Amino acid sequence: MLKVLSNWFGACRIKTIPAAICPIIIGSTLASSLDIPSLILILISAVLIQIATNLANDYFDYKNDADTPDRLGPVRATTAGLISAESMKKGIIITFSLAFIVGLFLVARGGWPILIIGLSSILAGLLYTGGPYPLGYNGLGDIFVLLFFGPIAVAGTVYLNSFEFSREIILIGLAPGLLSTAILAINNLRDVDEDRKTGKRTLAVILGSSFAKWEYVVCVITAVAIPIIIKASQGALSYRVMIILITLIPTVPLIKTVFTKKGKILNGVLAKTGLVMVMYAGLFYVAY
């Protein structure tokens, strides 16, 4: 029983959860008022969609023969035979269904805009590696991650809490999306050789490893710069806002590793970038 639970826990890829939670923290910081029940439901729904997407990636990578024995990333449970394809499919259906049920309560509060966001998030989670034209296999994964883990998540959180919407919310929402894209860039850089063999056309495959390295750097620096530039343009720049720059400190050794190492060591960079996201969200809360 413990072994089964361990296999499912691994397939859920809990280390990716910060990507789902951080934009919600930022969105709740921007909202002029908070509705705590809604905030709790947003967190539950976002985590469920993240987990369901991870399970779908595991399943569809198996169905599409996108993983090989030389895989450098975390073990894919279906491909490794730890979880059967049928069980994984049921897990995907159950998790997405739970996310949908929780989302109905949010739709009751926010109306049709939230329904569109919820359904599109579930659909994108399935189409990332599934369907006739998988986003992640055709160089579109970065755009998906930028939008859904950035402006869409942040704006949706603000709207459900205080029914506000503005250009500033969308622009700031790009920041967590860029940090999630940085994580994806490392994932694609690590797997570039395997992906090239299996026909996965990530941006690292299409544009080369050097692009993925610089994509990581640009995403991290731009994410840190966005809120500072916005406050400066409003004439509201202060030392408290500048505290966000602290986020760059732990990324210096990570960037060095990205440009000098390859292979499994990038798994550490990926995990630590997730922690940088958490740090960023905390500093953003203090700054704003």
- CA dihedral 26→175→154→269, nearest 10 degrees, is -80
277's CB contacts (< 8 A; 6+ apart) are 18, 19, 22, 176, 179, 180, 183
Q: Which residues contact 143 (CB under 8 A, 6 or more apart)?
A: 135
Residue 113: in which H helix or E strand, if any?
helix 112-127
Report the C-alpha gap between 2 and 4 in whole angstroms. 5
Tokens representing 186 are 């490392």
Alpha-carbon distance of 201 to 261, in angstroms, equals: 22
What's the CATH fold of domain 2-12+19-287? Farnesyl Diphosphate Synthase (1.10.600)
Q: pLDDT by residue (tens digit) across 168-180?
A: 999 999 999 999 9
* pLDDT tier for residue 14 given thresholds of 50, 70 and 90: confident
Confidence bin at 210 (pLDDT 50/70/90): very high
Q: pLDDT value at position 65?
A: 78
pTM of the model: 0.94
Check pLDDT > 70 for residue 233.
Answer: yes
185 closest CA partner among 110, 77, 259: 259
Contacts of 278 (CB under 8 A, 6+ apart): 18, 21, 22
Summarize pLDDT for 125-150 with one digit per residue, the tens: 999 988 888 988 999 999 999 999 99
pLDDT at 68 over 70: no
